[in-house]
Amino acid sequence: MSGSRITFTEGQTDQPQALERVITHVQQQLTGAGLDRLREAKRPLFAGIGASYAALAVPVDVLRTHGIDGRRVLSSEIEEGTHGFETDLLIGISQGGRSSETIAAFKEAGDVPNVAVLNVLESPLGRLADMTVDLGNEPDSYASTIGFTGTIAALDLIAGAIAGRDASDDPWHGIGARMTAVREQAADVIGGLQARAARCVAADVVAAGASRASAEEGALLLREVVRMPAAASVTRNYLHGEMESAGNTLHIVFGDGREIELARSLSGAGHCTLLVTARQVAPSDSLGVVRLPDAAPGARVVLETVVLQELSAALSTERNIPIESFVFANDDTKEGGVNPADFAIASPVAAAP
C-alpha cells in the first residue's frame, strides 16, 4: 500500500508540491543503466487498465512526434501474452502494483523485457519487473489525484528518455505554480456553471492527441466521483455523429484547433459546455472557458487534469455525493482483493421492493 490514504480534497491541495517531488524522484532514476535500457527500445508497448490506460495516451503521442512506434493496449488484451505485437519492451503501469490484469500480462510476456511504472515499489508487479520506475510512494486519494498526475509526468519522462529528448528540454519547469494558477482560474469558471452542470444527465469529454488522456480520465472521474454517466471521444470522431445525442448533457472540450468551433457549436445550441484551451476564447451564457498557459503535451495533460479534478469536486458537492463513497467493490481487480477501509460502500440505487 501507499504511505497513507488521503482525501480527494487533500490530494488537490497537496498536488503541486507532490508532483514536483515525483518529477525529481523519477528523473534521478532515469540515469545510467536504466536510461540505456530505455534508449534501446524501438517498439515499446504500454499496458495499463482504468486510469493507467488513460495515462498511456501521453507517451504514445510523445513517441510518435519523434517517429517512434509506441502503442498502448489494455492489460487485459495481453493477459495471454504479447504475441501479435512486435515489441521489444513492455511497459506496464499500476499505481499500487496490484492490478490483476497487468500482473497477468507481465507473467505471460515471456522473454520480452519489461518495465513497471509504480507508486508503490514493494508490490506484486514490482517484484515481477526487470526494471521499475516509481513515483516515491506518495500518499494518494482513492479517486486518484497525485497518483494520476504523477504517472503522467513519469510516462512523459520515460517517453523522452526513449526518444532521446535533450535534457535541457524540460517541459516540467515551474509545473507546481502553473497547477496552482490553473486551479484558481478553474474554480472561478466552474463556479459559474456548476449548478447547471450538476443537473445534466450525462457528459461527453472530447479531445485529441495526448489530451485523449485527459478526456478518458475526465470520463472516469465523472463516473467515479460524481456518478454521472460519461464518455470520452476523440475530436474528429465526435464530429462524425457522436455529438448528435447532445441534450441535457455536459460537454467538456480540450484543445486549440477544431475543438474551439466544436465548443461554440455546442454552446450556441444551448448545451452546457466547458472549453479548456490555450487560446483566447470569449465565454458565453452556455460556454465556460478555462485558459491554459502554453505547455508541452504531458504538462498540458496535467493542467487539464487539474481542471477536471476541480469540476468533479464541485459537481460532487452540488449533487450531494461524498467524493470517497464508491459503490462497487470488485475484489478481482486487485491482487489480494480490495481494502474496504479505502472507501465507503454507499449505493445510490434503492433496494428492490
Question: What's the pLDDT score for residue 2?
Answer: 44
289, 277 in Cβ contact below 8 A?
yes
Contacts of 315 (CB under 8 A, 6+ apart): 194, 197, 198, 222, 225, 226, 228
Identify residue 212 by its one-letter amino acid code: R
Mean pLDDT, contiguous 10-residue spans, the chain (353 residues): 77 97 96 90 95 97 95 92 90 89 91 93 91 95 94 97 88 97 98 97 98 98 95 97 92 98 97 98 97 97 98 96 71 60 45 36
Question: What's the pLDDT score for residue 342?
Answer: 54
274, 186 in Cβ contact below 8 A?
no
Question: What's the pLDDT score for residue 267?
Answer: 97
Of 67, 50, 288, 104, residue with least CA distance to 188: 288
C-alpha grid cell, residue 330: 470488485
Question: What's the pLDDT score for residue 351?
Answer: 37
Q: How many CB atoms lie within 10 A of CB 122?
A: 11
57, 210 in Cβ contact below 8 A?
yes
Q: Are strands 131-134 and 230-234 parallel, antiparallel or unpaired?
A: unpaired
Instruction: Tell me which CATH code domain 175-318 carries.
Output: 3.40.50.10490
CA distance 39 to 162: 4
CA distance 249 to 343: 28
Strand segments, DSSP code E, in the chain are 44-48, 71-74, 89-93, 114-118, 131-134, 202-207, 230-234, 249-254, 273-277, 287-291
Question: What's the pLDDT score for residue 53?
Answer: 97
Q: Is 86 exposed, middle or buried (0-12, 13-18, 19+ CB in 10 A)?
A: exposed
∠277-58-55 over CA atoms, to 5°? 100
Of 105, 93, 106, 107, residue with least CA distance to 50: 93
39, 164 in Cβ contact below 8 A?
yes
- pLDDT per residue over 148-197, tens digit each? 999 999 999 999 999 999 877 889 999 999 999 999 999 999 999 999 99
Question: What's the pLDDT score for residue 98?
Answer: 80
Whether 8-163 and 175-318 share one fold: the answer is yes
Domain segments of the chain as ranges: 8-163, 175-318
Question: What's the pLDDT score for residue 353?
Answer: 35
Q: How many CB atoms lie within 10 A of CB 346?
A: 11
Number of C-alpha atoms within 13 angstroms, CB side, residue 351?
A: 2
Q: What pTM does this model have?
A: 0.92
288, 316 in Cβ contact below 8 A?
no
Structure letter (DSSP) for residue 256? S
R_g of the chain computed on alpha carbons: 20
Q: Which residues pair with 132 in a beta bridge?
A: 116
Helices 8-29 and 175-191 pack at an angle, to 10 degrees, of 150
Q: Which fold has domain 8-163?
A: Rossmann fold (3.40.50)
